[in-house]
Amino acid sequence: MDIRLMKEFICLAEQLNFSKAASRLYVSQSVLSRHIANLEKILGVQLFIRDTQSVQLTAAGEFVRDEFAAVVAKYDEAIRKINQMLSGIVGELRVGFLERAVKIFLPDLITQFRSMYPNVSLQLDQYNMGALAQALKREEIDIAFSLLFDQPEKGYSSKTLYRDSLAIVLPKNHPFAGKKVISLADLAHEPFIFAGKGESPGMFKRVIELCMANGFSPNIIKQYSFPENALLMVKTGLGIAILSRHMESTDSDLWFGSIEGDNTKIDVVITWKTANTNPAIQLFLKLLDSITF
């Protein structure tokens, strides 16, 4: 049955006047009368008692009015929710991130988003760099906060949030600890702690290229899955590491030195699959546009 026919009946049941109901419905009295007659035929009951003076609901008409009102209310609510879902106001957004890269802004960003869109459920998951890229590829998450060189080349869109740089991490008793700018070539014979090639091929490749550009092939003695593990290994004297500056620690047992040269910049980005039609992604990106990094 046409939902419009139900709404016409409800309107007439409220007005109990064909002229007034037809005016509210923007149809002629004759059309409304014909529609009501068709409805009574479909249902097999008389809905109204009509005479020249008044229009009254029958007992069946009162029952149908209440039932149709419930159906129309559910229909209108479903349409409202569908429209909200299509606009991103209702739904789910799955966010993956590297914790240290986003710690300065993600908590406030999430708070703002939840305030603006309380009916969008947010799923937040922390990953290491390689697992984050795989989660995005497998569509386990909708968006990823990561480093640019860890992103696939095709089928993805990225937005740069801020530019970071690579730094040399040394234990406090290292001869170069305390030096603000360090030549990587001076560390050619040091034992290096690297990002795992399987966990973060982008970071692994970038640091290898940086070492080679400075005239040496690094002596890799340990690899890590999470950069926090690298900090611990450096602190205990196992070797030195090259990490993103956002990993800088206030730990007095560690020293973060800038690398001499220009080829040390990396972008912290938000990335999503271009073909992902989740409308909440665009709402999230719009909020990001309002933030200064």
* Per-residue model confidence (pLDDT) at position 104: 83
For residue 124, the tally of other CB atoms under 10 A from its CB is: 12
Residue 291 has pLDDT above 90, yes or no: no
Task: Give dist(CA 224, CA 60) in Å, integer.
Answer: 75
Residue 153 has pLDDT above 70, yes or no: no
Class of the CATH-defined domain 92-287: alpha beta
Q: Are 128 and 226 in contact (CB under 8 A)?
A: yes
- Which is nearest to 165 in space by CA: 101, 221, 255, 97? 101
Q: How confident is the model at residue 208 (pLDDT cuts 50, 70, 90)?
A: very high
* Per-residue model confidence (pLDDT) at position 210: 95
- Region 62-80 average pLDDT: 93
Range name among 30-44, 175-189, 194-208, 228-242 with the lowest pLDDT average: 194-208
Residue 213 has pLDDT above 90, yes or no: yes
Q: How confident is the model at residue 42 (pLDDT cuts 50, 70, 90)?
A: very high
- Average per-residue pLDDT in the chain? 91
* Per-residue model confidence (pLDDT) at position 88: 64
* Per-residue model confidence (pLDDT) at position 152: 54
Q: Which residues contact 168 (CB under 8 A, 6 or more apart)?
A: 176, 182, 184, 187, 240, 241, 242, 256, 257, 258, 259
Residue 22: HSE in the Cβ half-sphere, 13 Å Cα cutoff: 13
Range name among 67-71, 196-200, 252-256 with the lowest pLDDT average: 196-200
Q: Are 6 and 35 in contact (CB under 8 A)?
A: no
Q: Are 282 and 179 in contact (CB under 8 A)?
A: no
Task: Give dist(CA 293, CA 246) in Å, integer.
Answer: 13
- Region 224-236 average pLDDT: 93
- Region 41-64 average pLDDT: 93
Task: Give dist(CA 95, CA 276) in Å, integer.
Answer: 13
* Per-residue model confidence (pLDDT) at position 249: 81
Please indicate whether the domains covering 3-87 and 92-287 agree at the CATH topology level: no
* Per-residue model confidence (pLDDT) at position 151: 53
Q: Where are the domains of the chain?
A: 3-87, 92-287
% of the chain exceeding 90 in pLDDT: 70
Q: Which residues contact 174 (CB under 8 A, 6 or more apart)?
A: 240, 255
Q: What are phi and psi of 107, to 5 degrees?
A: -55, -45
For residue 293, the tally of other CB atoms under 10 A from its CB is: 10
N- to C-terminal Cα distance for the chain? 55
Burial class (CB in 10 A: 0-12, 13-18, 19+), 255: buried
Domain 3-87 sits in CATH at 1.10.10.10
